[in-house]
Structure formats: C-alpha cells, structure tokens
Amino acid sequence: MHKKLIAGVGIALIAGLALSGCSARDSSGAASSTAIKKGDLIGVALPAKTSQNWVLAGAAFEKSIEKAGFKADIQYAKADGPVPDQQGQISTMLTKGAKVIIIGAADGSQLGSQVKAAKAKGTTVIAWDRNILNTKNVDYYVAFNNYKVGQLQANALLQGLKEKKGSGPYNVELFAGSPDDANAKVFFNGAMSVLKPKIDDGTLKVVSGQTTFGKVNTQGWLAQKAQSRMTDLLSQYYSGDTKLDGVLSPNDTLARAILTATKAAGKDNPVVTGQDSETASIPLIMQGEQYSTIYKNTTEEAQAAVDLVTTLSKGDKPDTKMDKTNNYNGVKTVPAIELTPVLVTKDNAVEAYKGDQTLEDLAKAGQ
C-alpha cells in the first residue's frame, strides 16, 4: 500500500483544555484530551509488516514526529497473533504516558477496551489509515478517501476493459481485502457503487456469481489466499475457451498473485487493478501486465497525522471533514482529515510519481 490518510474531532473544549492542561468529561463520560506539548510521547501502533507501505510507515512516522519536536514510540504487531500483540502495545504506551496514540489497527473491531482506557487517561486517539470500529473513543481519523479509492479502481477496470478488450460484455471476477481491515469493505463498497449497475445491465458478467464481500474477501490480505482462490475460480468457471477479461483486485500484492494464477492457467492479459503503488507492481504496469494501481503517499499520510498533533498542541481546532460514507465507524462519524488518492496507469505514471524518486525512476525505466 503506498499510503496516505487522516481524521479529526470538533470538541469545543479542546482549545481551552490544551491551554489549561486539565481534562474533563465529555457527554459520553470519557475523559477529553489533555494538553499536548512539545517533547511529549507520541505512540504509533502499526499492524504487521504485510505490505510495503506498512514498512515505509514506521520510518515516515519516526522522522516526522522527531522533526515536530515530540518523542516517538513506534511498534509493529507481530504477524502471528497481531491483535493481542497490538492490544498489549497500546496498553504499554499508555503506561509510558503517551499523550497521543496513532493507531493503524491490526483489527479495528478489537480495540474498544484499549481506546476506552486511552480516553480515560485523557490521551488523544487518532485512527490512521484504518478506522477503529464501534466505539465513541476515537478523536480523529487520518486517511485517504477509501470509498473514492474503490470508485477509482472500478472505473479503471471499466476503462481498461474498453481499451484492451473492445466492446463488451466482459467476463470478470471480484476480489476484496481482509474482513478484519475496516478499509476493505469501504474499498469494495466504493467499487460496487460503480460496478453493480454494469453487472445489472449485462455489461459485466461475474461468471462465478460471487459478488458479495463475504464471498470475495481475502483474509489477512494474503497473496497465497488470493492466488489459490483465483486458481480455483479459473478451474471451475473458465475451462476451455471461456475468457477472463478482468479482475477487480483491491491492492497490488493481491494483483500480482492473481496474475500469477492467470498466467499458470493460460488466461493471458486480463485487466487487473491494484492499490498502493508497490515497487514490484510499477514495472508490471509499465509493461501492460497489471493495468492500474492507486497512489497513496505514505510519507504524506504520516505527516498529516503529525501535523494534526501539532495543531492540537497549539490549542487550535483542526480542519476536519464529517464524511459518513467514508468515516462512519458503526457508532459515530469520526472527524477526519482526508487525503486524495490518485489513479495510476501506464499513461500517467511518470507524472503521478513526480516527487517520489523511487517510483518516478521505475516509471521512467518502463517507458
């Protein structure tokens, strides 16, 4: 995931509390945020390093937090048992006295107790890249507009089908991310807002009939699970001359796994989408094997969260969006700082990656 995200809460008391250094109770009974000042400890709890963007996130946060004048405690969850590991890491950050905790949730539905404890201490809770679900105890959400990501992916699929496959109807299959990632269903819902009308009118035919999130999700965002499912779909539904024209893939890791499966089955050149602008996928896009990705600058997303902390430390009110479609967590619409994702294909890759030397060089090398 080359990423970028954001969020925010409009509590009128924040400015006053930031100046006075005291805490108070909000209407839900949780302690509102205490003052944040330079030199305070900022905890950053990230999931396991399952994608390139999560790896990049730690370094980006460390640099941004130190430059802003705060202390950083950055922890990754273990790949084996990430949820209890992250729960313990957040609790330890609170014990250390973190005034802010920025959380890229391993599972946004299983952190209710930890964020409740944080709010009881007056700690500001910022959900980063993934929302934290079914709790009032989240102050802000910093992220890219993930519903928009899904819409961009769907439009790229339709655009690629028209460019590479001519007129429809088209045979396609759908993949989604992990059900323990709050973003995965938002991506899928955004995509289906574009694709469902095309399925209904016959432009798209999902040959397997699998069109619900429950049927198409990929537990853990694991490449091997996506490759196995794609292999099974091809075996069951695409024997002989039945063509596979395109696949909605929610990120680049899964896109490459899907392409591995289609090549092995002799189903060449389907239109496959992606997300995160992973370095391994840029050459594939420039060669025309993977059709598209989404660029979400991880450094920009981390900086946005740190900028939010700096704003709060000054006693200022952040400029946030109340976007229910994108930022509702099941209990509340979390005030958010939303970044804008960019659709990338071979045609615009060099321009889209200007300023990111590694990706720009990869795009230029593939021209």
Q: Express each pLDDT in 300-335 by its tens digit.
A: 999 999 999 999 999 999 999 998 888 999 999 999
Nearest CA to 180 among 281, 272, 48? Answer: 48
Question: Do both 111 and 171 map to the same domain?
Answer: no
Report the DSSP beta bridge partners of residue 125. 101
Residues 6+ away with beta carbon under 8 Å from 329: 108, 127, 131, 132, 133, 134, 135, 138, 141, 182
Clarify whether residues 224 and 360 are in a common domain: yes
Q: Answer yes or no: do 259 and 307 share one domain.
A: no
Distances (CA, A) of 71 to 39, 93, 110, 288, 330: 6, 12, 27, 44, 32
Do 90 and 111 contact (CB within 8 A), yes or no? yes
Q: Let me know whether 91 and 154 are in one domain.
A: no
On whether both 51 and 158 belong to a single domain, the answer is no
Q: Are residues 98 and 53 in the same domain?
A: yes
State how far the Cα of 221 lies from the Cα of 51, in Å rounded to an integer: 9
Please tell me whether residues 280 and 211 are part of one structural domain. Answer: yes
Q: How many domains does the chain have?
A: 2
Same domain for 348 and 336, yes or no, is no
Residue ranges of the chain whose pLDDT lies below 50: 1-32
Strands 170-174 and 271-272: unpaired
Buried b (16+ CB within 10 A) or exposed e, 209-240: eeeebeebbbebbebebbbebbbebbeebbee
- 42 shares a domain with 111: yes
Predicted pLDDT at 323: 87
**Are 171 and 120 within one domain?**
no
CATH code of the domain covering residue 133: 3.40.50.2300
Q: Read off the pTM.
A: 0.81
pLDDT of residue 19: 32
Q: Is 88 exposed, middle or buried (0-12, 13-18, 19+ CB in 10 A)?
A: middle
Question: What tens digit of pLDDT does each residue of 123-140 get?
Answer: 999 999 999 999 999 999
Residue-level pLDDT at 33: 53
Q: Can you tell me the distance from the alpha carbon of 82 to that of 302, in angstroms, rounded to the nearest whole number?
A: 21
Residues 6+ apart with CB under 8 A from 364: 350
Question: Contact 268/293 with Cβ under 8 angstroms?
Answer: no
6's enclosing H/E stretch is: strand 5-6
Question: What percent of the residues of the chain are helix, what percent strand, and what percent coil, each to the nearest 5?
Answer: 45, 15, 40
Which residues span the domain enclosing 115? Answer: 5-144+297-340
Q: Enter the tokens of residue 162.
A: 């028209």
Looking at the structure, do residues 184 and 131 belong to the same domain, yes or no? no
CB 155 within 8 A of CB 118: no
**Same domain membership, residue 119 and residue 25:** yes
